[in-house]
């Protein structure tokens, strides 16, 4: 069973899995590099930074 390319929807190829081509892999990479994709993380709280005092 072949999965679909996340960029264009064509069947993925073994050499470029999960993409169908190097072009689609490059499109995905460019989206990461241009911050179109981001991994959510905890927001920094500048007013109350985490304690580094371990002598509690």
Is 5 annotated in a binding site? The answer is yes
Residue 6, C-beta contacts closer than 8 angstroms, at least 6 positions apart: 18, 19, 24, 28
Is 55 annotated in a binding site? The answer is no
Is 49 annotated in a binding site? The answer is no
Is 26 annotated in a binding site? The answer is no
Residues linked to residue 4 through DSSP beta bridges, in sequence order: 11
Per the structure block, which two tokens stand in for 18?
A: 């999960």
Residues of each annotated binding site for Zn(2+): 5, 8, 20, 24
Residues of each annotated binding site: 5, 8, 20, 24
């Amino acid at each position: 069973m072949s999965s679909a390319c996340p960029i264009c929807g064509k069947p993925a190829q073994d050499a470029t899995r999960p993409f169908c081509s190097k072009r689609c892999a490059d499109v995905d990479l460019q989206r990461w590099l241009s911050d179109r994709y981001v991994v959510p993380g905890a927001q920094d709280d500048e007013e109350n930074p985490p304690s580094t005092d371990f002598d509690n």
